[in-house]
Structure formats: C-alpha cells, structure tokens
C-alpha cells in the first residue's frame, strides 16, 4: 500500500516563530488532507489540497502531486498551535480510504 512519511517527527518552537512541515507519499493520490489533532483527540480539518496552494490565515499549504509531496506552513506560531499534525491521502483506486502519515508533534512555548 501507499506509504506516507512526515518530517520532522517532533518540533519545538518559540511563540512567533515560523515552521514548515513536510509530507511525502509513495504513489499517486486523489485526495490529500492536513489535520491538526488537539490534546483531546479531535482531528480538525486544516486543508483539503490534492494539488496546488491554499492559504487560511496564518496557515498555508502546497501540494506538488507530480513530485509526491505536500508542505504545511505555519507562520507566527501560537501556543494554541501545539498538537500533532497529520497528513492523510487517498491513493488513486482506493476510494475513501484515508492513509495517514506518521505525524509531526509540535510544541509551541512562550
């Protein structure tokens, strides 16, 4: 099956810093989503981005499907950004089955 790897696995930032999270996948995809999982386990949708670039406030994401990677940018980080960030993909031909990456655990400190 498709492999989804995220880097870095852990990240500690001071409030106000910027960061880039990376998601690499091993096969063609028709869906790519970025999620933020809060300490209570809720998966919050950040972006649905099978290709192209999107921005939402301090967050933006870019997916280059032909090169099989996606990037999530967080600018001016806040303590509320802490948590685990997951990239998840649907491999072409496996409709509706999201395969999640390994996650990036982000801690933002004062």
Distances, alpha carbon 43 to alpha carbons 29, 36, 37, in Å: 21, 6, 4
By the rule CB under 8 A, 42 interacts with another protein: yes
> Cβ of residue 74: shortest distance to another protein, in angstroms?
19
Residue in 14, 56, 66, 96 binding another protein, rule: CB under 8 A: 96
φ, ψ of residue 91 in degrees (nearest 5): -65, 135
By the rule CB under 8 A, 28 interacts with another protein: no
By the rule CB under 8 A, 10 interacts with another protein: no
By the rule CB under 8 A, 58 interacts with another protein: no
Give the closest residue to 71 by CA, choosing from 29, 30, 20, 32. Answer: 20
CA–CA distance, 55 with 98 (Å, rounded to integer): 22
Positions touching another protein (CB under 8 A) are 30-31, 33, 35, 40-43, 45, 48, 50, 86, 88, 90, 94-103
């Amino acid at each position: 099956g498709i492999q989804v790897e995220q880097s870095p696995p852990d990240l500690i930032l001071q409030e106000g810093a910027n960061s880039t999270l990376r998601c690499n996948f091993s096969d063609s995809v028709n869906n790519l989503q970025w999620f933020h999982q809060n300490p209570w386990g809720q998966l919050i949708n950040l972006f649905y981005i099978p290709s192209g670039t999107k921005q939402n406030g301090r967050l933006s994401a870019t997916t280059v499907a032909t090169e099989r990677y996606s990037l999530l940018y967080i600018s001016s980080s806040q303590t509320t950004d802490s948590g685990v960030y997951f990239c998840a993909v649907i491999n072409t031909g496996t409709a509706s089955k999201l395969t999640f990456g390994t996650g990036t655990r982000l801690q933002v400190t004062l």
